[in-house]
Amino acid sequence: MKKTVLINTLWICLAWFGIPSVLAQQRTYCNPMDISYRYNFEQLNERISYRSGADPVIINHKGEYFLFVTISGGWWKSKDLVSWQYVVPDKWPMEDMCAPAALSVHDTLFLFQSTFEQRPIFYSTEPEKGKLKFYNRWLPRLPKDIGPWDPALFHDPDTDRWFMYWGSSNVYPIFGAELDHRRRLTYLNPEPSKAYQPMFWLDPWQHGWERFGPNHSDPIKPFTEGAWMTKYNGKYYLQYGAPGTEYNVYANGTYVGKDPLGPFEYAPYNPIAYKPGGYATGTGHGNTFQDHFGNYWNTGTTWLGIVWGMERRIVMHPAGFDKDDQLYANTRFGDFPHHLTTKKWTNSNELFTGWMLLNYKKPVTASSTLDTLRAELAVDENPRTFWVPTKNKPGETLTSDLGAEHDVRAVQVNYVDHKNTVFDSDSTVYTQFRLYASRDGKKWTKIADLTEQPKRDRACAYVELPAPVRARYVRYEHVYTAGPYVAINGFRVFGNGLGKAPATPAKLAVVRQKDQRNADISWEKVPGAVGYNILWGIAKDKLYQTYQIWNDQPNKLELRALNVGVPYYFAIESFNENGVSAVSEVVNR
The stretch 261-279 carries a mean pLDDT of 97
Tell me the HSE value of 73 on the side-chain side, using a 13 A CA sphere.
Answer: 15
Could you tell me the residue range of the domain that residue 412 belongs to? 357-496
- Report how far residue 202's alpha carbon sits from residue 223's, in angstroms, rounded to the nearest whole number: 8
Backbone angles phi, psi at 378, to 5 degrees: -90, -10
> Of 463, 496, 529, which residue constitutes the final position of a domain?
496
> Of 473, 496, 519, which residue constitutes the final position of a domain?
496
155 and 300 together in one domain: yes
* pLDDT tier, 25 (very low <50, low <70, confident <90, very high otherwise): confident
Interior CA angle at 497 toward 495 and 499, to 5°?
155
- Reference 157, options 181, 187, 175; nearest CA is 181
CA 39, chain centre distance (Å)? 19
Residue 17 above 90 pLDDT? no
Query: Looking at this protein, which amino acid is placed at residue 449?
Result: D
Distances in whole angstroms, Cα of residue 570 to Cα of each of 323, 542, 580: 20, 10, 17
282 and 405 together in one domain: no
Distances in whole angstroms, Cα of residue 582 to Cα of each of 283, 438, 505, 571: 26, 32, 9, 10
Rg, the chain, Cα only: 24
Interior CA angle at 310 toward 39 and 332, to 5°?
100
pLDDT, position 10 = 39
302 and 417 together in one domain: no
Dihedral of the alpha carbons of 483, 485, 488, 489, in degrees to the nearest 10: -90
For residue 35, what is the domain's CATH number? 2.115.10.20
User: Does residue 243 contact residue 274 with C-beta atoms inside 8 Å?
Assistant: no
* pTM recorded for the entire structure: 0.95
* pLDDT tier, 350 (very low <50, low <70, confident <90, very high otherwise): very high
pLDDT, position 104 = 98
Residue 2 above 50 pLDDT? no
Give per-residue pLDDT as tens, 187-227. Answer: 999 998 999 999 999 999 999 999 999 999 999 999 999 99
User: Does residue 186 contact residue 163 with C-beta atoms inside 8 Å?
Assistant: no
- Report how far residue 72's alpha carbon sits from residue 86's, in angstroms, rounded to the nearest whole number: 10
In a domain, 375, yes or no: yes
In a domain, 213, yes or no: yes
110 and 173 together in one domain: yes
249 and 140 together in one domain: yes
Number of residues in the chain: 589
In a domain, 91, yes or no: yes
The stretch 434-441 carries a mean pLDDT of 98
Give per-residue pLDDT as tens, 77-122. Answer: 999 999 999 999 999 999 999 999 999 999 999 999 999 999 999 9
In a domain, 370, yes or no: yes
Query: Looking at this protein, which amino acid is placed at residue 49?
Result: S
In a domain, 22, yes or no: no
Percent of the chain clearing pLDDT 70 (strictly above):
96
Beta bridge pairs of residue 494: 357, 410
Residue 32 above 60 pLDDT? yes
The stretch 146-166 carries a mean pLDDT of 97
User: Does residue 335 contact residue 32 with C-beta atoms inside 8 Å?
Assistant: yes
Percent of the chain clearing pLDDT 90 (strictly above):
95
Backbone angles phi, psi at 569, to 5 degrees: -120, 135
380 and 466 together in one domain: yes
User: Does residue 162 contact residue 153 with C-beta atoms inside 8 Å?
Assistant: yes
In a domain, 504, yes or no: no
Tell me the HSE value of 226 on the side-chain side, using a 13 A CA sphere.
Answer: 29
* pLDDT tier, 24 (very low <50, low <70, confident <90, very high otherwise): low
pLDDT, position 562 = 98
Please provide the DSSP assignment of 473-526 as one string: EEEEEEEE-SSS---EEEEEEEEEESSPPPPPP---EEEE-SSTT-EEEE----
For residue 571, what is the domain's CATH number? 2.60.40.10
User: Does residue 500 contact residue 578 with C-beta atoms inside 8 Å?
Assistant: yes
For residue 388, what is the domain's CATH number? 2.60.120.260
pLDDT, position 177 = 98
Largest CA distance in the chain: 75
Query: Looking at this protein, which amino acid is placed at residue 262?
Result: G
Please provide the DSSP assignment of 249-307 as one string: T-EEEEEEESSTT--EEE-SS--SB---SSSS---BS--EEE-TTS-EEEEEEEE--SS
All residues at 6 or more sequence positions from 343 whose CB lies less than 8 Å from its CB, including other chains: 293
What does the DSSP 8-state code read for residue 25?
P
Tell me the HSE value of 278 on the side-chain side, using a 13 A CA sphere.
Answer: 27
For the chain, how many structural domains are there in total? Answer: 3
In a domain, 503, yes or no: no
User: Could you report how far apart the first and last alpha carbons of the chain are, in Å?
Assistant: 51
- Report how far residue 192's alpha carbon sits from residue 169's, in angstroms, rounded to the nearest whole number: 20
Interior CA angle at 218 toward 217 and 221, to 5°?
130
214 and 240 together in one domain: yes
205 and 86 together in one domain: yes
The stretch 317-322 carries a mean pLDDT of 97
166 and 42 together in one domain: yes
227 and 332 together in one domain: yes
460 and 533 together in one domain: no
pLDDT, position 255 = 98
- Report how far residue 195's alpha carbon sits from residue 184's, in angstroms, rounded to the nearest whole number: 15
Backbone angles phi, psi at 236, to 5 degrees: -110, 120
pLDDT, position 22 = 41
- Reference 580, options 508, 512, 520, 526; nearest CA is 526
pLDDT, position 6 = 38
In a domain, 16, yes or no: no
373 and 336 together in one domain: no
> Of 304, 330, 353, which residue constitutes the final position of a domain?
353
- Report how far residue 345's alpha carbon sits from residue 135's, in angstroms, rounded to the nearest whole number: 37
- Reference 486, options 578, 367, 580; nearest CA is 367
